[in-house]
Structure 1
Amino acid sequence: MALGTSPRTVVCIVLDPSPRHPTPQVADSLSVIGRGLNVVAALSAAWGWSPQDRGKAVWARIPL
């Protein structure tokens, strides 16, 4: 994981060994999994991903 900051923004980058494209899921009300990217999308101004040699990097830009 990497973390960068500016006066108004925090950028968080997480490395994931899976090469699969990250896709927000629709979780039912009792599910304990499948909400991570929905939370990231709700809290961030932008998020995305890029392929890496081994998996991918998922990033989020969060306004302070």
Structure 2
Amino acid sequence: MTIGMSDEDRELRDSVRGWAARHATPTVIREAVEAKSETRPAFWGSLAELGLLGLHLPEEVG
């Protein structure tokens, strides 16, 4: 059974996919996995700008 996607869902998917292709490259992910200590990635700010850090929250909380 598949989940129906709206045009808005597809636009979000495409936007996130494009962002990941530019910022979360295999090299970046590999470096993060192999790092000696955990740090916030350089691309974190762009995630926030896109609003992706709050996708799990209802719109009324911002």
Q: TM-score normalized by structure 1?
A: 0.29
Structure number having the greater helix percentage = 2
- Indicate the structure whose relative CO is greater, using CA pairs within 8 Å and at least 6 residues apart: 1
Relative to the length of structure 2, the TM-score reads 0.29
Return the index of the structure with the highest Cα Rg: 2
Question: Structure 1 or 2: larger strand share?
Answer: 1
